[in-house]
Structure formats: C-alpha cells, structure tokens
Amino acid sequence: MRNRAQKFLAAADAALAGRSIRGGTAHIYALVRLWHWANAAAILVLSLTGYLIGTGTPAIWGMASGGFLFGYIRFAHFSAGYVLSAGFLLRIYWALMGNAHAMQIFCVPLWRRCFWRELHHEIRRYSFLAVEPERGLGHNRLAQLAMFFMFTQTITFMVVTGFALYGQGAGTDSWQYKVFGWVFSLWPNSQDFHTWHHLGLWVIVMFALVHIYAVLWDDVVSRRSFPSIK
C-alpha cells in the first residue's frame, strides 16, 4: 500500500517538475496539487482580508482621495474569491470527468454499508483503538466526511453568498446579482448573509486546523500521507 502511494506521488512530483510519467494521470494529479495550493493561498488571503473587512482597519491618515487601503483589501478579497471560485468550478468539472476518487469530496456514499464500516474503523484509528489505515488511495472515510462537510459545503456556501454580496456592490443589474441574488429571497435582509458569510470564515479556519494536523499526524503515525515523500 505504501509503495503504491509512493509511486503515484513520485509521479505527481515528476509532473510538477515538468516531466511526464505515464501520460495523463500524472498531469491530473499535478493539477490537483496545483489546485490544492492555489486554494490554500486563496483561502489564506480570503480569511485575512475577510476578517479585516468584517472588523474595519485602524484609520489611516491623509485625504480620502490619497488612500485606497480598504479598497485594496476588498479588491484582494474579491480577486482571491475569483481564484477560489474558478478553481472550484474546475474541480467540479474534474469530479464529473475524472475517476471515482475525483468524486470523493462531492459525494459521500452514506447509503453504502462499507462506507460506515470504513468510517468506524477510521474513527477507531484516530481514537488510538486501531492502527491500520483502511484504504490506500485518496481520502480515508473520515477525511472524506470532513472534506465534504467542512470544505466542499462551506466553500459552496461561501462562493454563493460571496457572489451574492459582491452582486450587491456590483449592482442589481450585474450578472453576479442575477445569478446569485436569489439568496436574498431566503433572508431578505442581507445583513444576515454578511453575518453567516463571516461565520463561514471560522468554519474554514477550523477546517484548516484539522486538515493540517491530520496530514501531519497521518504522516507521523502511518507514513502514508503526501508530505512523507518529500
């Protein structure tokens, strides 16, 4: 199992370095890594700027016309939002076109018996009751669950509400408002969306904490996750 993991990761590394091993598969895994790190960067920018937008910055001196600090912060937020959204769209495309693992973070097979068995096993493993990892490739079942609920769902929510709120500024005749403005019929006062969008930031912070820790832990305990190869 470890060998296999090593093999495909080596392929991924090779792809990143510009060498092609075994054609398309390597490219795709490279793209997934690229997606991952683009996401990480975008989320970092979004979280920091988002926090500042919610709280406000200490006032800067000088004439209003001479400064655009808050404007730049918001610009960075919106740009990173576009990067995240574009990547997310590509990821959805890949989920539809790619192999079964590509679907993992979008679809949790709650109806499958093996899912629950494997999930149970993973919970035991994280509770130090079992040691052997269940499966070889892709996310384990617990990770899949976390990815689906904390990442995929939250990002979907953040993209939709983010564009709806952006549409308010872009104007009710903008495409953003036309595509996403429907959310305001759920809660007519958009103040609610600001609040919940801001809360979404904290869900992602929690996700990032768990995510990074789990990667390192898995690496240390079972030496099977990605960083161990580097």
Partner 1 sequence: MGDATETFYGVIRRQGITRRSFLKFCSFTAASLGLGASSIAHALETKPRVPVIWLHGLECTCCSESFIRSAHPLIKDALLSMISLDYDHMIMAAAGHQAEAILEETRARYKGGYVLAVEGNPPLNEGGMFCIDGGKPFVEKLTSMAEESMAIVAWGTCASWGCVQAAKPNPTRAVPIDKLITNRPFIKVPGGPPIAEVMSGLVTFITTFGKLPKLDHQGRPSMFYSERIHDKCYRRSHFDAGQFVEEWDDTNARKGYCLYKLGCKGPTTYNACSALRWNGGVSFPIQSGHGCLGCSEDGFWDKGSFYDRLTTIKQFGIEQNADEIGMAAAGVVGLAVAAHAAVTAAKRLRHRPDRPAHKGKPS
| Six token digits for residue 180 | 């996403």
Range in contact with partner 1 (rule: CB under 8 A) among 20-28, 79-87, 90-98, 214-222: 214-222
| Contact yes or no for 158/80 (Cβ under 8 A) | no
Round to whole Å and give the CA distance between 46 and 53. Answer: 10
Round to whole Å and give the CA distance between 104 and 216. Answer: 21
Query: Buried b vs exposed e over 55-88: b needs ≥16 C-beta within 10 Å?
Result: eeeeeeeeeeeeeeeeeebbebbbebbebbbebb
Among 90, 190, 215, 219, binds partner 1 (CB under 8 A): 190
If binding is defined by CB under 8 A, does position 191 make contact with partner 1?
A: yes
Specify the residue, 30 or 143, whose C-beta has the smaller distance to partner 1.
143
Specify the residue, 116 or 182, whose C-beta has the smaller distance to partner 1.
182
CB of 56 to partner 1, least distance (A): 4
CB of 161 to partner 1, least distance (A): 13
Range in contact with partner 1 (rule: CB under 8 A) among 8-16, 81-89, 114-122, 126-134: 126-134
If binding is defined by CB under 8 A, does position 79 make contact with partner 1?
A: no
Range in contact with partner 1 (rule: CB under 8 A) among 28-36, 80-88, 100-108, 208-216: 208-216
If binding is defined by CB under 8 A, does position 196 make contact with partner 1?
A: yes
Specify the residue, 65 or 111, whose C-beta has the smaller distance to partner 1.
65
Helix (H) or strand (E) holding 218: helix 191-222
- Structure-token match 């953040």, residue found: 158
> Residue 61, by phi and psi: left (phi above 0), alpha (psi -120 to 50) or beta?
beta
Round to whole Å and give the CA distance between 82 and 64. Answer: 27
Give which of 199, 89, 188 is closest to 154, Cα–Cα. Answer: 199
Among 23, 71, 111, 186, binds partner 1 (CB under 8 A): 71
For binding to partner 1 (CB under 8 A), which residues are involved?
Answer: 1-2, 4, 51, 54-60, 62, 64-71, 73-74, 126, 128, 131-133, 136, 168-169, 171-172, 181-182, 184-185, 187-192, 194-196, 198-199, 201-203, 205-206, 209-210, 213, 217, 220-223
